[in-house]
Structures are given as structure tokens and as C-alpha cells.
Amino acid sequence: MERGSVGVSSLYAASEDFKNEIRARKEHWVHQHPEATDLPVHVFPFRGGDRVGEALLADPHKLIDLARAMAFGTAADEIILLAETYTTPLPENPKTEMPWESGELEFMANEYPESLEQGWVAEAITVMAVNRDGVAYNGMFPFRVEGDTVIWDEEAEAGTEIPMDQVAGAMQMLMEIMNSPHLVQALENSIGKELIDALLGPDGEKEMVARDFATISFCMEQGLADAAMLAGKPGTERVELIKKLMEQPSIKEKYKAVVIDPEDNE
């Protein structure tokens, strides 16, 4: 497939299902954590159109390293990042009467609470996604929290494909990650596909679950993730294998944060 020949509709991140999931996650988090309502950063690797895992972290400075490890180890063909940030409908900072500079939105929200009340600045969930076909997507979902209720500003929601010549910052780093070989490709490039097949056997579900688990375990042990889980659709061989894996006492004791994703994405 020619890079860039598919559109943003090929990304799960751009789907209505994912938008609904974002809302549900945020609303659940606010109910469960009324004193600290900010969502942790989330990283979702997808392979073959299905979510294979998930990792959460509180320190955004580790985000790119976590995304790189997850994309490489799970052989993801789409990687999605979800983080809380700020947005604005205004072209200029009302305080300076100049175009917004980097970091000013967060500064205004923290130092001038009236900026949130007057709608100059809004909290938002940002979604960034890139696949191995060179498609990049950015979504923005503004909201405000009143008590234990999340109120979404649906009119201000936006989601768009980012042209490759306009990709920058964290999105550029994601693009570079997805342009690089993943684990299986790296092995094949090093010693050849025939030898890999001879050593590892057919690339069945058992082998993929083992690689995915090794990946999230690495991310936890290296301090890249605060929590991680394997994911799969209910009723599949993959989920049955994950259940058996999680029954092992040594794994349950060592990786308490590694759980089966309860989401049914069908």
C-alpha cells in the first residue's frame, strides 16, 4: 500500500466509538477521583484493527519513550495517545493582546481562573494518532468539570487529518516511531524471515500474546508506565490466553497493574 494512500477514516482514533470511549473514560475518572480529575496519559497500540494493550502514566515527559516501546514490541500498526491539555477559541491572549505563545494556555488556566470562567481557555482531551501508512490525526475534545459532572463542548470539538508536511512536535516524533521497523520486522531484517520462522514457528496468537505481555512488562519494569494491561475482544482465543497468563501466581504477584481490558469494542 502506498504511504498516505489511505485516509483518516482508516484510524480507530477518528471513529465515533473512540470518541464515546474518551467521554466514558473521563466521566468515570471524575466520579472515581473527585479530588484529582485529570486523566493520566494513555497509550493505545492497535494491530490489525484491534486494540492489543494499553499503558498509563502520570509523567508526560516519558510519553514518547513509552509510545516507542509499545509500538515496537507489539508490532502496532496504529498508535494512539490521549492526554489532557488546554485549548482556546481566541486567536490572541486577552491579557497580552498578542498571539498565544507556547505554554500560555496552561499558565492562564492556572494563574487566572477567570480565563476558564470566561471561556478564554478551556480544558480539553487531545488525541494524537499515527499509523504505518503515514496517516496522522489530531482530535480535540473541550470540556469543563462541575462537581462530579463532565460537560462536553460538542460544538468546539474538532478532529482532522494532519498533512505530512505539517506534522510537527510530538506528532512528528510519533510519525518517526511508526516509520521505524517494529520488533518482528527488526528480527527479519537482522537474520531473515526464514530463520525467524524456523526458530519461532508460525506467528500464532500464543506468540503474539507472549510478545505483547513482554512489552508491557518491560514498560512497567523500566518505569515508562505506571499501569499497563493487555487487551482483546471478548470470546476470542486471545482473551482466553490472557486469562491463563494472568492465572500464574508469579505474574499476578509481580504485575498487579496488568489486567484484562474489560472493554468490549465490538
> How many C-beta atoms surround the C-beta of residue 53 within 10 A?
26
pTM of the shown model: 0.85
* Residue 173: all three cell numbers together: 516524533
**What is the reported pLDDT for 201?**
58
pLDDT bin (cut points 50, 70, 90) of residue 49 is confident
DSSP state of 39: P
- Model confidence pLDDT, tens digit, residues 103-131: 899 999 999 888 998 899 999 999 999 99
Distance (Å) of CA 140 to CA 83, 128, 156, 253, 263: 10, 9, 8, 38, 23
Which residues have a Cβ under 8 Å from the Cβ of 250 and sit 6 or more positions away? none
The pLDDT, as a whole number, for residue 255 is 57
- Nearest Cα neighbor of 128 from 83, 90, 95, 86 is 83
CB atoms within 10 A of CB 199: 9
- Per-residue pLDDT tens for 68-108? 999 999 999 999 999 999 999 999 999 899 999 988 999 99
Phi, psi of 156 (to 5 degrees): -95, 0
188 vs 132, which has greater pLDDT?
Answer: 132
Q: What is the pLDDT of residue 7?
A: 55
Please state, in angstroms and rounded to a whole number, the distance separating the CA atoms of residues 207 and 215: 12
pLDDT level of residue 1 (50, 70, 90 thresholds): very low
Supply the Cα-derived Rg of the chain in whole angstroms.
20
Burial of 36 from C-beta contacts in 10 A (0-12 / 13-18 / 19+): exposed
pLDDT of residue 254: 57
Q: What is the pLDDT of residues 209-237, one digit of tens each?
A: 888 999 999 999 999 999 888 988 888 88
List the chain domain ranges.
8-260
Amino acid 257: pLDDT:
35
Cell numbers of 188, please? 527479519
* pLDDT at residue 248, rounded to an integer: 81
Q: Is the dihedral of CA 78, 83, 88, 94 positive or negative?
A: negative
- The residue-averaged pLDDT of 148-161 equals 89
Q: What is the mean pLDDT of the chain?
A: 84
Taking the chain, what is the end-to-end CA distance rounded to the nearest angstrom? 26
- Interaxial angle between packed helices 183-191 and 63-74, expressed in degrees from 0 to 180 and rounded to the nearest 10: 60
Q: Is the model's pLDDT at 4 over the cut of 50?
A: no
